[in-house]
Structure 1
Amino acid sequence: MNIFLSIKKHFNYDKLDKQEYKRLVRDIIMLNIIIFHLLWMVFNSLFETEIVRDTLFYLIPYPAFLYQDYIFDNFYIIEIGFMCFYLMEFLFSWREAYRLKTYAKWYFYPFIHFYDLIGSFPGMHFFRLLRIFAMLFRWHSNEIINLENLGIYRTILHIKEIVVEEISDAVVINVLEGVKDEVNTGEYGNNKFLNDVVKPYHDSISHLVSSKVMNVVRKVHIEREEDLKGYVDVLIEDAVKENQEINDIKLIPVVGNYAAGRLEGAISDIVNNVVNDILKDISSEKNEEVLKDVVYQVIEGALFSKDKNEDSQLVAELTNKVLEEVIERVAVKQWQVREQMWEKQKQDELAEKRKLREKGLHKKSD
């Protein structure tokens, strides 16, 4: 209980304003009173048992008789006193919340702090424990204390994360399985999927694809220009060898081979220039709208044409594949991954400490 009285040692109240500081002091006082009251009730319940009462009468007979005659037999009066004190504190806190406009309506306070109200009455000890937990978590949220330094808090938080993750994963997987069934049975309809999901982003998809195509063409053209020129030259050389007219030119005495070679070179230059100009035009900004229109028409014809049974089947298969990947990812238990990571960190820390200890022993032996 002393840890709650040592304010400066255990609480970070430097950033609190005057009102928050008063609230903190009142909370600390109430926390100590609640803990004292709960411990007193535990002792009084134990005193009611024969073995504890006989032991106390044997060890400290006079104080035990006084406690039985004046306190134990009249403990209900003490409980009523505590009840009145708790109710007064509750009404004071309610008035304070109304004055500070903490909640939108004045009558919200008793519903939000129901554990304070119910815990005021005798026999409702569990709700007083809830008040302690609520108080500690409020301090933690306001960065007055840091519960993460407590192992029990980290354990409770980890268990909560496991429960939440297991429930949420089960719900998500169940929903995705239902979507898969609808896609497979055709109840949702691929046409509806395309119209509801793809159609609204038709322009954006066209712009994205056209931009990607332009960037790729520009990059490949710069990096592979010489390779492309060599490839075109090889194709032209093969075509020239198979062309009968050029072979006939080679038969002309004296100038035949020279003329055929010059003709082949001219064809190669023309074709290379045409290919380079085409690639530059495709990747230039002035033709971005043209390329976007082409991509738009391709998407329109591929996905939204009237005759697309095969496309519908493909969309269904792709949708199922995506859903399966998502389900597989959701099914991965992240809390197990975190535990494995923590275990690895612990092993690394132990190994590091072992190395440091061994170095220290070596230095001492030297």
Structure 2
Amino acid sequence: MRLFFINKKDFDIDKLNTKEERMRLVRDIVVLNIILFQMLWLAFNSLYSTQIFKEFLDLISVDFTRLYGKYIYDNFEIVELVFTTFYLLEFFQSWYESYKDKQFAKWYFYPFVYFYDFIGSFPGMHVFRLFRVFALLARWHKLEVINLENLGLVRTALHVKEVVVEEISDAVVINVLESAKDELSSGGYANQKFMSDVVKPYQENLSIWISRKVMHAMQETYSNRQEVLEQYVSVLIEDAVKQNDEMKDIKKVPIVGDYASSRLEDAISDIVYKVINDLFEDIASERNEDVLKEVVYEVMEGMLFSKTKDENGQLVQELGSTILDAVISRVGVKQWQMREKMWEDEKQKDLEEKRKHREQITQQNQVQSKDSLK
């Protein structure tokens, strides 16, 4: 992980619209690197106070160890004072810019919001300077100037957080669903009350939805099966006429019997088919949507909310248990494992592409070598 953001490629400055914002970014980069540099210097200075570290430095350079101890270690309070002065000046500069840009409703809100900047300016308050580092990185990430997810440590921390949150939330959700399933299976709620509490409030909307689905299905199906239905009606009428005694008597009439029976058969087929055709078209017509909706509503009322049907409880138990089982199985799927597999597949794909690219370069070099030998 890179600690210092000093390369231009680390920043997408096109996200900043004004020159002032870009100058502020430059200043923030300077402050960030100074804070990190000072933290490393403090760590070095603390190690210098140990004898074993001094002996290690003596192995490298005795003069450096002596000069550092005489001019820097013994006067480190002055060094801290220089850093403190720099941090305070930068803090008051930022406060003035906030007041000038009217960032807050009152001018004195700034030190309360950015208290860690002010406290961290003083010696001994180094932890608050780390807060400022995190605040700067978070602000840049929010402005899309940088993408913290490109840093391996941040990406790993976010992944670990997602794994922990998902495992805990999945365990809680599954436990709640299992409890609901047990209560449903015991029959404590699989009764008319379930219907009244869950289904009844949506009965009107369900009726509209089902009626429109029925209308659409009838329109599509009937338009595609109209000829088949007509042939089917003709076959049924023909069979019925052949078995009808009155039609047999008509056929016995000399000369006109067969003609009359044939015409009667055609007339009956036309009438029956027209009745069925008009029936389907009326049901599928939008003008009868309200009628169909009322029919569906009454059917639902009779099937689901009839107090005389004891099988409703068993139906609700089975349906509810099946739904909860499906939800539990879905919740049990580890999304973080799927993400890891996807990342691994992408990594393998990238490695494969790089390998192929290297092989192509190698082959090209071999061809060029052979050509040069010729």
TM range (shorter): 0.7 to 0.9
Match of 1:47 in 2: 48
1:183–1:190 contact (8 Å) kept in structure 2: no
Q: 1:354 to 1:329 in 2, by over 3 A?
A: same
Comparing 285-294 and 247-256, the one that deviates more:
247-256
2 CA distance for matches of 1:171 and 1:294? 42
TM-score, normalised with respect to structure 2: 0.81
TM (normalized to structure 1)?
0.83
Three-state SS of the structure 2 residue aligned to 1:224 is helix
What do residues 22-73 of structure 1 show as CA deviations (whole Å, max 9, x unaligned)?
Answer: 5434422321221121111111122122222023235433332232244334
Distance (Å, rounded) in 2 between the aligned partners of 1:310 and 1:134: 62
* Structure-2 separation of matches of 1:281 and 1:339: 56
Q: Partner of 2:72: helix, strand, or coil? A: helix
| Structure 1, gaps ≥5 residues long | none
Counterparts of 2:71 and 2:355, CA distance in 1: 61
- Residue in structure 2 matched with residue 204 of structure 1 by the alignment: 205
Gap change, CA 1:330 and 1:284, over 3 Å in 2 = same
2-side partners of 1:124 and 1:65: how far apart? 28
Aligned CA distance change for structure 1 residues 315 and 142 (closer, same or farther; 3 Å) = same
- After superposition, the C-alpha distances for 1:211-231 in whole angstroms (9 at most, x for unaligned) are 111111111111001111122
Give 1:340 shift: 1.9
Q: Say if 1:352 and 1:257 are closer, same or farther in 2 by CA, change over 3 A.
A: farther
SS class of match (1:166): helix
Aligned position for 1:28: 29
> How far apart in 2 are the matches of 1:250 and 1:192?
65
CA contact 2:84–2:122 (8 Å) conserved in 1: yes
Which string of whole-angstrom CA distances, capped at 9 and with x for unpartnered residues, describes residues 230-285 of structure 1? 22222223323332332333344444444333322222221111111111111112
Post-superposition Cα deviations, 1:285-317, rounded to whole Å, max 9, x if no partner, equal 221111111112112222233334322332232
Query: Within 5 Å, which residues of 2 pair with 1:1-366?
Result: 4-5=5-6, 10-14=10-14, 15-17=16-18, 19-75=20-76, 78-79=79-80, 82=83, 86=87, 93=94, 102=103, 113=114, 115-116=116-117, 119=120, 125-188=126-189, 190-358=191-359, 364-365=366-367
Please, which moves more after superposition, 9-18 or 261-270?
9-18
State which drifts further: 254-263 or 293-302: 254-263
Alpha-carbon distance in 2 for matches of 1:175, 1:295: 34
- Determine the C-alpha separation between the residues in 2 that align with 1:131 and 1:291: 66
Task: Give the deviation of 1:341 after TM superposition.
Answer: 2.1
Checking the alignment, whether the CA contact within 8 Å between 2:170 and 2:331 is kept in structure 1 is yes
Q: Is the 8 A contact 2:208 2:293 kept in 1?
A: yes
Which structure is higher in RCO with an 8 Å CA cutoff and minimum separation 6? 2
Task: Determine helix, strand or coil for the equivalent of 1:205.
Answer: helix
Pair 1:90–1:310, CA change in 2 (3 A): farther
Query: Contact conserved, 1:3 with 1:10, CA < 8 A, in 2?
Result: no
Q: Note the C-alpha offset of 1:139.
A: 0.6
**C-alpha displacement of 1:88:** 6.5
Alignment length, in residue pairs?
365
Q: Percent identity?
A: 57
Alpha-carbon shift at residue 91 of structure 1 (Å): 6.5
User: What residue ranges of structure 2 are gaps of 5+ in the alignment?
Assistant: none
Q: Is the 8 A contact 1:4 1:10 kept in 2?
A: yes
**Structure 1 counterpart SS, 2:306:** coil
Deviation, structure 1 residue 351: 3.7
How far apart are 1:142 and its partner, in Å? 0.5
